[in-house]
């Protein structure tokens, strides 16, 4: 069995300003840094982590780096775990995107699993690369517990995969909060079992959530 401890990055400065970030490389906010610290305390107290992987975007990397540092192990950067490429949407507010790209943004809001960011990636493309990355991590870490730092859209598409939910129903799946923990076990029979989903019980009330990806 392989246990994947998948965390969404802490609040970023773009989350704080309600700006669509995509693959723009932004740091954590001050709150996000506190969330990452509490996340590390929780993980170190409750799991025996053998390896750490992360999106190469700094908000994800900096969220899991404190755990790796405490354990004295490296963080392996996995670009395939990056957030969706937002194309022309990046660094814009919801209001700006809705005004400039009304049809594409309407699909994002109403049927996200079928959407493509204007000039960027489709959600289906995100899922394909994220699933491939997770399969590779599992194949290389038999019998281990692996911490993975990732992003909201990536984790939402992975939840669809783990639950055998088609992307046409992704709109029914909620975004996980910042600096939350989702544990998924890849079992010896080749199936996936979600053990913990979007857990922020350890965040002492400083919980931040997003709406529509902002």
Q: Are strands 181-186 and 2-8 parallel, antiparallel or unpaired?
A: antiparallel
CATH number for the domain running over 2-199: 3.40.50.1240
3-state secondary structure of 10: coil
Q: Is the pLDDT of residue 148 over 90?
A: yes
Q: What is the pTM of this model?
A: 0.96
Residues 197-209, mean pLDDT to the nearest whole number: 95
| pLDDT for 26 | 97
Taking CA atoms, 56 is separated from 27, 144, 151, 171, 194, in Å, by 12, 22, 11, 27, 25
Which of the four pLDDT bands, split at 50, 70 and 90, describes residue 213? low
Residues paired with residue 146 on neighbouring β-strands, in sequence order: 4, 51
> Would you say 34 and 178 are in contact if contact means Cβ atoms under 8 Å apart?
no
Report percent pLDDT > 90 for the chain: 97
3-state secondary structure of 91: coil
Q: What is the DSSP letter of 9?
A: P
Contacts of 15 (CB under 8 A, 6+ apart): 21, 29, 32, 178, 208, 210, 214
- Token match 């693959």: residue? 23
| pLDDT for 212 | 67
Residues 154-173, mean pLDDT to the nearest whole number: 97
| pLDDT for 210 | 80
> Would you say 163 and 182 are in contact if contact means Cβ atoms under 8 Å apart?
no
Q: What is the pLDDT of residues 43-98, one digit of tens each?
A: 999 999 999 999 999 999 999 999 999 999 999 999 999 999 999 999 999 999 99
- The two tokens of residue 134 are 């997770």
- The two tokens of residue 200 are 């922020």
CA distance 151 to 135: 17
| pLDDT for 211 | 72
CA distance 74 to 122: 31
Domain spans of the chain? 2-199
| pLDDT for 53 | 98
Listed residue (153, 147, 107) closest to 130, CA to CA: 153
Q: What is the CA radius of gyration of the chain?
A: 16
Residues paired with residue 142 on neighbouring β-strands, in sequence order: none
């Amino acid at each position: 069995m392989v246990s994947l401890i998948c965390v969404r990055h802490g609040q970023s400065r773009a989350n704080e300003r309600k700006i669509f970030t995509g693959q723009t490389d932004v740091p954590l906010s001050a709150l996000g840094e506190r969330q990452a610290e509490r996340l590390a305390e929780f993980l170190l107290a409750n799991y025996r982590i053998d390896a750490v992987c992360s999106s190469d975007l700094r908000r994800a990397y900096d969220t899991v780096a404190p755990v790796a540092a405490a354990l004295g192990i490296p963080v392996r950067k996995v670009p395939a775990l990056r957030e969706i490429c937002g194309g022309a949407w990046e660094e814009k507010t919801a209001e700006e995107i809705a005004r400039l790209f009304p049809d594409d943004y309407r699909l994002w809001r109403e049927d996200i699993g079928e959407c493509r960011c204007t000039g960027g990636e489709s959600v289906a493309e995100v899922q394909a690369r994220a699933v491939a990355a997770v399969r590779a991590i599992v194949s290389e870490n038999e019998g281990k517990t692996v911490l993975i730092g990732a992003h909201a859209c990536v984790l939402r598409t992975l939840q669809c995969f783990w639950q055998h939910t088609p992307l046409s129903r992704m709109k029914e799946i909620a975004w996980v909060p910042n600096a939350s923990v989702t544990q998924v076990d890849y079992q010896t029979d080749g199936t996936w079992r979600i053990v913990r989903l979007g857990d922020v019980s350890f965040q002492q009330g400083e919980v931040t959530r997003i709406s529509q990806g902002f």
